[in-house]
């Protein structure tokens, strides 16, 4: 990984999994030119989610979020590329789907804030923390994307 290359954590939430949107979300990131270095299906535990959403645990919406996120499988992913954290957030769209632009994942597939299809890291520090929560180091693949020279200068 070069100094300019980042990794981010993206999760297709249970609503996105149940709606069959995993492949379309994967395609958005692959078509953009990002490299998938980790993916797994997992039904998250309450303990994992309390750690993942630590800043929200005392908020009034947290019990509903916890119930939703433990209701079924999540497609957890790690993507790699230049500026992938910020660009990943752009691909996802605004957290509230009613504010998300058409062409973004949430703008195209979301209606309700509580069913906004995906989670994406909001900073490089958050991405590193979230990746380490959801993945063991050996679950991430270091590999060279053959198209790299066609995507980057």
Mean predicted lDDT score pLDDT of the chain: 96
106 a known binding residue? yes
Could you say which of 52, 68, 119, 148 is catalytic?
119
At 1 the pLDDT is 56
Q: What whole-number distance in Å separates Cα of residue 91 and Cα of residue 86?
A: 9
List of the chain residues with pLDDT < 50: none
Q: Is 89 annotated as a binding residue?
A: yes
Contacts of 142 (CB under 8 A, 6+ apart): 1, 37
Residue 68 annotated among the catalytic residues of the structure: no
Domains with residue ranges and CATH for the chain: 7-140 (3.30.70.141)
């Amino acid at each position: 990984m070069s100094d300019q290359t980042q990794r981010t954590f993206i999760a297709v939430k249970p609503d996105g999994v149940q709606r069959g949107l995993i492949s379309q979300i994967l395609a958005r990131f692959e078509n953009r030119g990002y490299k998938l270095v980790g993916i797994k299906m997992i039904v998250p535990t309450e303990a994992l989610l309390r750690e993942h959403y630590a800043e929200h645990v005392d908020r009034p919406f947290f019990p509903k979020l916890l119930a939703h996120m433990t209701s079924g499988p999540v497609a957890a992913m790690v993507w790699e590329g230049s500026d992938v954290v910020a660009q990943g957030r752009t691909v996802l769209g605004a957290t509230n789907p009613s504010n998300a632009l058409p062409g973004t994942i949430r703008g195209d597939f979301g209606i309700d804030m509580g069913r906004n299809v995906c989670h994406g890291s909001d900073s490089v520090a958050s991405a590193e923390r979230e990746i380490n929560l959801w993945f063991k180091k050996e679950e991430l693949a270091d590999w060279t994307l053959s198209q790299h020279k066609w995507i980057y200068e």
